[in-house]
Structure 1
Amino acid sequence: MRLGVDFGGTKIEGALLDSKGEILVRRRVPNPGDYLSAVRAVADLTARIEQEAGARAVSVGVGIPGSLSPATGLVRNANSTWLNGKPFLEDLKAALARPVRVENDANCFALSEAVDGAAAHGRVVFGVIVGTGCGGGVVVERKVVEGRNGIGGEWGHTPLPWARADETTERHWCGRYGCLEQWISGSGFKRWAGMGAHEADEAARAGDPKARVLLDLLADRIARGLAVVMDILDPDVIVFGGGVSNIESLYPSVRGKLLAHVFSDVVTTDLVKNMHGDSSGVRGAAWLFDAGGDVSEYMA
């Protein structure tokens, strides 16, 4: 058995999985928003889950909103900024007394869907999270591709491609301007559209022409962003997660716009909605050791 933890900005969720990927116990607690308290919360949640299951996990995988620097081992790029600069992996190893692996939460999502979810039929998978924020993850043959600098899949912090004169933004929380996250995330959509994405979806389905135009523009921006990924990675499957992924009309709309931007005469890549929903984060975290090599390398 293996245990996965989805370390979110407002909640921490844990799940114990058996060897077939079935969730045996799943529990959620609030994220205290304080570093030392959060480390303790992960340890307490792990102990509670294992007590309920009557079993101890051999390893714990944790998905976080950010990544570990390969130079320092410290957390960086987390929008929960109080995590940045902290030795989260080492402190979790000490608190849990077993092998631990920490990975970006979008990578965990992509891994979950690539192992036994909506993208399981693909060899090369790009996972897209479009929720409050925007992220991406790359999985090849059921292994997360972190990259040399540990930033593989950081799609949300690339600029909006082929930006028009009116597509300007203020400075993003990451310190850059024009990040894709500011255009296609749920919060980004609300900023420029003046309404929430789900509100626009409901209005569009009721026949509101303005809402339809707004969603069409969102689909165009998503397609422009994905076209660059496809020109570089050419994935078999692109799987969507996050709240915005529940807008069903986006899938045919994005697909219809891709060919205008991709450097190809055909686009046969599958665009699919996630299968595991809110469970993808903990499931992908739990699969990290299967996708990341020998457990012994994380025991030191």
Structure 2
Amino acid sequence: MAIVCFDIGGSFIKGAVALTAQDITPLVPRPTPLDDFDAFAATLIGVIAESRIRPERVALSITGIIDPETGIATVANIPCIHGRPLQRDLQARLGLGVLIANDADCFALAEAGLGAGRGHAIVLGAILGSGVGGGLVANGRLVNASGGFAGEWGHGPILPSYAGDPPVAIPAWDCACGQTRCLNTVGGARGMERLHFEVHRAELTSREIVDGWQAGEAESVKTIDLYVELVASPLALAVNITGASIVPVGGGLAKSGPLIERLDAAVRARTLRRFGRPLVVPGALSIEPGLAGAALLGLGVADAG
């Protein structure tokens, strides 16, 4: 089997030829047309032509959600595909079968098939990037195969009004999803920065906060203490509900091994199942997880072993 897979971002479209799960060859990235669907489809056609194969299908990782009932795509950062029945429209333009999944779902699928989740029946992929995302794989299959929101542990009005010792008030920040008190408002890099400013009235980047914490700087230590407390409980609840036995983490904050180790210890202290080994771990893939996940989606995860 041969497919072409895509990682669709707001800046670039990354493509690759996938022959097997272990044979994924990236192609030259191309700028993403944001406002012209004809140009968007033409870019995909150009990448397929560059691949010099006739793929059996194409598979896309997107920074958005496909409604499982209507097939309508919600992709706010790429207006030309936002609000479209994207699978149907692309199949008509490309003349090929099209599979589409959210980028966090593709991360989870890639880690389950090729990375830290290999050998685990239930894998909860967690994204700690600019915000919080997630995807769920059960028995080698993506739960969101037809689109949907499974694994999105960063949303819902779950944050407490107070946290820390002594207690600190946690504002009811508005989330981009339309709710308030979502973990997404504090759990990603921008949320960590927001939390630090709320407590200390000082503007630092998430990297500066993490570096300061590791250096023992008091303000950053307090912020990370709060951050871990706020993130660990929802993640432990997600583990309890899904039965996940491993939680690979992707996104910018996952690059800090000590932070993930600290979060892992806090999560394992809160789960019903007692784990005597790491549960929350950095993602292990060297290849782009969006491309790898889209490749597995297109190939069929059975090929991942």
Fold in common (TM above 0.5): yes
Match of 1:33 in 2: 34
Partner of 1:171: 174
Q: Give the letter for the 1:134 counterpart.
A: V
1:241-264 residue CA offsets vs partner (Å, 9 max, x unmatched): 011110111222112212443335
TM-score, normalised to structure 1, is 0.86
The residue aligned with 2:192 is 189
Counterpart CA distance in 2 for 1:133 and 1:148 is: 24
Q: Give the counterpart letter for 2:60 in structure 1.
A: V
Which AA in structure 2 matches 1:178?
R
Does the CA-based 8 Å contact 2:24-2:295 persist in structure 1?
Answer: no
1:209 is aligned, of 192, 201, 218, to: 218
**Aligned residue in 1 for 2:207:** 198
Partner of 2:56: 58
Separation of aligned partners in 2, 1:206 and 1:91: 52
- Which secondary structure does the structure 1 equivalent of 2:93 belong to? helix
Task: Find the residue that maps to 1:155 and give its secondary structure.
Answer: coil
Question: In 2, Cα distance between the equivalents of 1:265 and 1:73?
Answer: 39
Q: Deviations over 1:175-198 (max 9, x none)?
A: 111221111111222222232221
Q: Give the secondary structure class of the aligned counterpart of 1:27.
A: coil
**Percent sequence identity over aligned pairs:** 27
Unaligned runs of 5+ in 2: 163-167, 197-202
Q: Determine the C-alpha separation between the residues in 1 that align with 2:129 and 2:296.
A: 23
Hey, what does 1:133 align to over in structure 2? 131
Shift of residue 80, structure 1, vs aligned partner: 2.1
**Change over 3 Å in CA distance of 1:121–1:292 after alignment to 2:** closer
Deviates more, 1:188-197 or 1:102-111: 188-197
CA distance in 1, matches of 2:145, 2:58: 22
Q: Does structure 1 residue 102 correspond to structure 2 residue 100?
A: yes
Counterpart-to-counterpart distance in 1, 2:35 and 2:101: 20
User: Root-mean-square deviation (CA), in Å?
Assistant: 2.4
Aligned residues: 288
Q: Take 2:274 and 2:285, find their aligned partners in 1: how far apart are those partners?
A: 33
**By how many angstroms is 1:106 displaced?**
0.7
**CA–CA separation in structure 1 for the residues paired with 2:146 and 2:55:** 30
Q: Deviations over 1:212-267 (max 9, x none)?
A: 22223222222112111012012111000011110111222112212443335556
Query: Paired residue for 1:249?
Result: 258
- State the Cα deviation string for residues 136-172 of structure 1 (Å, max 9, x = none): 0000121000289822112222333445272223322
Q: CA deviation at 1:6?
A: 1.0
- For structure 1, which runs of at least 5 residues remain unmatched after alignment? 294-300
**Matched residues in 2 for 1:5 and 1:149: separation?**
17
Displacement of 1:205 in angstroms is 3.1
The CA distance in 1 between the partners of 2:35 and 2:124, in whole Å, is: 32
The change in CA–CA distance for 1:182 and 1:110 in structure 2 (over 3 A counts) is same
Cα gap change, 1:257 to 1:29, in 2 (>3 Å): same
Residue 18 of structure 1: aligned partner: 19
Partner of 2:47: 45
